[in-house]
Structure 1
Amino acid sequence: MNMNRTVLYKAALPIVMVLICAPYKVNAYNIEDAIKAVQLNNNGIKASKENVNIAKTERAQAYTTLLPSINLSNANTRTTYDVPQVLPNSSSGDRRSTSLEVYQALFEGGASLFRIDAAKHHLKAVQSDHQSQVQEIVFKAMEAYERLVVIKTVYDFHVKNEEAMQQHLNGVEARFKVGEATVTEVAQARASFEIAKANKNVSSGEITALEASYESITGEKAPQNMDPVDISGVYIPSSLDELMQICLKDNASIVALSSSIESARGNTRVAYSGLAPKVIGAINVNATNIKRNSPYKQDGTTYMIKVNMPLFNQGGIEYVKIKEAKHRERKQKAALESQKSAIISAAVGIWTKYSSSHSTIASMAEAVKASEIALKGTIEESKVGTKTITDVLEAETKHLDTKIKHTQAIQEQLLAVFQMHQIMGTNLSMFTNTRPIVQTAFNKS
């Protein structure tokens, strides 16, 4: 038995060592991680969330106006009487009074109900405004992420281009030493190498700046390895008209302003209720115990209904409040129409950018293939003397430019998709490489 165990251990040991020592692949950082980071760390989102909490407390305050006011009071009084002309000595009396008062507004022109309605719509407006701010901040994080991915790709292009230019320079200098190249060709090769080096340094500086911007938005340092974004499964409206319909229905800023109008309308009704009579019911239960030489106790309950009809209060302040409320309501309506126009304009611009990006990407992809073929052909022809070093350097530069423009065209399409979903009111937090946006609230019934 011990022999069998020893054999099993020896057989299993290599397998265990392979499992322990085998390299493992660490998941690269992707756009989902960026979205989670900005939602967790961004102070702008935290501040906006507090606005929602404040609006919730204001709604709770509105409900309290329906409840009665209850007050309990207790008073102890000691009084000393000095009447020497009647009594040989001073006398004293004690009074203890306890009172329970209940006040309930019975009618205020519907003010309490109007306040509650206004508070509800105000909360909805603040929640939609919070969503709009979150969408804007998340979009900035997604934009920073995508720009970092692209600039790192461009940086790699410049690194390879610098290496290629270095090789060309070395080759020209070697040929110059044996009299096969001119001083002009050496100068041209060196100029191309220095330009390639400078372009690489510019890209490096852009990476540093974008990393700082990314950290300020997400609260995390930008990682070295960042997965490219895949939008292959992302929902795209079939037409500009559909895009505008979705935006006008689900855009968070439009929803917020629509709710603000309803809230302002409720506040206007509250202002009008100030002209209505006020009916208040009250109950007062009191007990008084007086002790002055002999005990004396008095209990009582008072019922009261009070009607207050405002005729001219504080210089007609009710009328001023009504006028102010109307102006605020009209202001919100104008703001809504202005925002609708802005959203429609943005939708047209984004749709145009997205639509044109397809042909641009296709054209630049063909340009990359063609410039690569041209570069290889120019290099081969230079070996037999039909092309000069200048031709080779120009071909290298053109191939680099086409690769960069192709990469940037893809970036512009991605950013257009991000912007499209932002103005559509889509929850951008849904966007991941494994679970992309597939629908919007407009498509949910």
Structure 2
Amino acid sequence: MGRTRLGSLGAALAFVATLAAPTGARTETLADALVSAYVNSGLLDQNRALLRSADEDVAQAISALRPIIDWTADISRDFSRIRSLARTRKSGTTSANIGITGALLLYDFGRSDLLVEAAKETVLATRQTLVSVEQLVLLTAVQAYMNVIRNQEFVALRQNNLRLLREELRAARDRFEVGEVTRTDVAQAESAVALAQSGLATAQGDLTRAIEEFREAVGRDPGPLQTPGDLPGLAGDVSAAKSVAVRKHPDILEAQRNVAAAELNISAAKAAMRPSVNLTTRLGVGENLDDSDFTRSGSVGVEVTGPIYQGGRLASEVRQAMAQRDSQRAQLHLVGLQVKQDVGNAYANLRAARASRDASREAVRAAEVAFEGTREEAKLGARTTLDVLDSEQDLLDAQANLISANADVVIAAYSVLAAIGELTARELNLSVPTYDASAYYDLVKTAPVPISPQGQKLDKVLRALGKN
């Protein structure tokens, strides 16, 4: 299945309707709204921060393989009071000590290396979570965009319907004055006008809510919006689409990474039951502040430590890691089933939306013919005012259904892209710099200290992030 991209909107999307806008005002496309949603999304910012947090887990795991150097300092006062043979003696000394200790892991049966690899797998899983969130943000923006268009067209339709009904009311009153119709006909027209006014107020309220949803999803108020047509480039082979989704959908890729991390955690838990070898060093300086006595000391050694009995904790951690691995495997299976179902549902919704749109177009055509015929027959006395009003209501309903069907087709098409895993800024070729998920990781993966060149570069990045 080929990629569907918004960058080729000139050929990919046929704009079939433009809502009324001030002359010369630039109309906004769906691609513009998606760019704004991508740039302004607080949800994306939150999950990017979570990814950076996961990146730091790798740095912390790597730090266990580095030398650990600590310093200690203390000052103490020792005093005593001794009574012997009816004599009391007092003494006291003040001493200060400073020391440096160091330790370096030499060998732990690969446990630390395994924890590093598990942290890396978690980072890769978190990146896929970010992709999944990106798809959600963009799909929500599509829905908000189309709902604004839908409700704007509903308002325009209701306004036009109210205008026509008022004309019908004036005509009914004129015909009543000359005795062509009864008071009942006039009352029916008045009732229809009142109902149309109520329907217009409801449509205007729905439009206000749609604008609020747009503002939340896109990060700004909508401008004059262009109505996009159906998306091309969606193959009708559902089986092929499911195969693509299984290979590239972020939820599946995330679940696969979580299984890999769980497998590594089992090996790390088993390695914790084995000995570890450490190089240890110590340097110390002591001064007696009451006289000129001092001490200088140091040591270098190799230390081998291993568990004998930990109350069953280590064995429990191995079993726990195995259970978590089994859980992640089951989750991978469930996600695979869900993704396939979502693809099938998305294609079914798209087919239904297209069929509904085609049927609604035919319904509008037929309703227009019926309405014009009924109105002409009413002028000749062959139809009543109620017949005209009913026919106009049928036309209104058909036009409203077509408006909804047009919006539903676009939403359904983008839902297919999301189900496959192709609804991202990169896949859509949006005109926006995409977030580089590996940039921060590349800065922290070696666990730099603040005074190093890498650490100073990282500090600049953190200051820039803090200003955003």
* TM-score calculated relative to the size of structure 1: 0.82
**Counterparts of 1:63 and 1:321, CA distance in 2:** 21
Which stretch of structure 1 is more off in the superposition, 159-168 or 126-135?
A: 126-135
**Counterparts of 2:193 and 2:172, CA distance in 1:** 12
Shift of 1:292: 9.2
Say whether 1:307 aligns with 2:313: no
**Counterparts of 1:432 and 1:162, CA distance in 2:** 41
Deviations 1:80-105 (A, max 9, x none): 9999x9xxx99998877654432111
Q: Report the structure number with the largest CA radius of gyration.
A: 1
Which residues in structure 2 correspond to 1:5-20 (within 5 Å)?
none
Shift of 1:300: 5.5
**Counterparts of 1:197 and 1:297, CA distance in 2:** 98
**Counterparts of 1:267 and 1:382, CA distance in 2:** 81
**Counterparts of 1:80 and 1:364, CA distance in 2:** 99
Compared with structure 1, are the counterparts of its residues 165 and 346 closer, same or farther at alpha carbon in structure 2 (3 Å cutoff)?
Answer: same
Instruction: Show the counterpart of 2:320.
Output: 324
Say whether 1:359 aligns with 2:358: no
Q: Residues 38 and 217 of structure 1 are in contact (CA less than 8 Å); yes or no, is this contact kept in structure 2?
A: yes
**Counterparts of 1:431 and 1:274, CA distance in 2:** 44
**Counterparts of 1:72 and 1:433, CA distance in 2:** 54
Q: Residues 32 and 431 of structure 1 are in contact (CA less than 8 Å); yes or no, is this contact kept in structure 2?
A: no
Say whether 1:339 aligns with 2:335: yes
Say whether 1:271 aligns with 2:269: yes
Instruction: Show the counterpart of 1:6.
Output: none
Shift of 1:79: 7.6
Deviations 1:201-252 (A, max 9, x none): 22112112222222233332344x22212444x4313311122112222222
**Counterparts of 2:37 and 2:205, CA distance in 1:** 24
Q: Secondary structure at the match of 1:312?
A: coil
Q: Secondary structure at the match of 2:227?
A: coil
**Counterparts of 1:207 and 1:164, CA distance in 2:** 22
Shift of 1:53: 1.5
**Counterparts of 1:205 and 1:165, CA distance in 2:** 21
Deviations 1:130-169 (A, max 9, x none): 2212321321222111111011112111111111111011
**Counterparts of 1:173 and 1:79, CA distance in 2:** 113
**Counterparts of 2:93 and 2:359, CA distance in 1:** 105
**Counterparts of 1:254 and 1:432, CA distance in 2:** 20
Which residues in structure 2 correspond to 1:65-144 (within 5 Å)?
65-73=64-72, 99-144=99-144
Higher RCO, Cα 8 Å, sep 6+: 2
Compared with structure 1, are the counterparts of its residues 259 and 282 closer, same or farther at alpha carbon in structure 2 (3 Å cutoff)?
Answer: same
Q: Secondary structure at the match of 1:29?
A: coil
Shift of 1:42: 3.4
Shift of 1:173: 0.6
Listed as ranges, the gaps of 5+ residues in structure 1 are 1-22, 436-445
Compared with structure 1, are the counterparts of its residues 104 and 394 closer, same or farther at alpha carbon in structure 2 (3 Å cutoff)?
Answer: same
Instruction: Show the counterpart of 1:256.
Output: 254
Task: State the one-letter code of the partner of 1:53.
Answer: R
**Counterparts of 1:106 and 1:367, CA distance in 2:** 79
Deviations 1:250-292 (A, max 9, x none): 2222221211111222222221111111111123345667899
Shift of 1:174: 0.6
Q: Residues 285 and 300 of structure 1 are in contact (CA less than 8 Å); yes or no, is this contact kept in structure 2?
A: yes
Say whether 1:391 aligns with 2:390: no
Compared with structure 1, are the counterparts of its residues 432 and 380 closer, same or farther at alpha carbon in structure 2 (3 Å cutoff)?
Answer: farther
Instruction: Show the counterpart of 1:42.
Output: 41
Task: State the one-letter code of the partner of 1:228.
Answer: T
Instruction: Show the counterpart of 2:421.
Output: 425
Task: State the one-letter code of the partner of 2:124.
Answer: K
Q: Residues 110 and 271 of structure 2 are in contact (CA less than 8 Å); yes or no, is this contact kept in structure 1?
A: yes
Q: Residues 30 and 433 of structure 1 are in contact (CA less than 8 Å); yes or no, is this contact kept in structure 2?
A: no
Q: Residues 230 and 433 of structure 1 are in contact (CA less than 8 Å); yes or no, is this contact kept in structure 2?
A: no
Instruction: Show the counterpart of 2:192.
Output: 192
Q: Secondary structure at the match of 1:26?
A: coil
Q: Secondary structure at the match of 1:237?
A: coil
* TM-score calculated relative to the size of structure 2: 0.78
2:405 is aligned, of 409, 413, 417, to: 409
Instruction: Show the counterpart of 2:244.
Output: 246
Which residues in structure 2 correspond to 1:169-248 (within 5 Å)?
169-223=169-223, 225-232=224-231, 234-248=232-246
Instruction: Show the counterpart of 2:444.
Output: none
Which stretch of structure 1 is more off in the superposition, 64-73 or 23-32?
A: 23-32
Percent pairwise identity: 20
**Counterparts of 2:430 and 2:51, CA distance in 1:** 31
Say whether 1:148 aligns with 2:148: yes
Instruction: Show the counterpart of 1:55.
Output: 54
Q: Residues 346 and 419 of structure 2 are in contact (CA less than 8 Å); yes or no, is this contact kept in structure 1?
A: no
Shift of 1:411: 1.5
Shift of 1:74: 5.6
Deviations 1:29-59 (A, max 9, x none): 3323332333343333322222111111111
Which stretch of structure 1 is more off in the superposition, 250-259 or 74-83?
A: 74-83
**Counterparts of 1:24 and 1:363, CA distance in 2:** 34
Q: Residues 131 and 424 of structure 2 are in contact (CA less than 8 Å); yes or no, is this contact kept in structure 1?
A: no
**Counterparts of 2:389 and 2:286, CA distance in 1:** 108
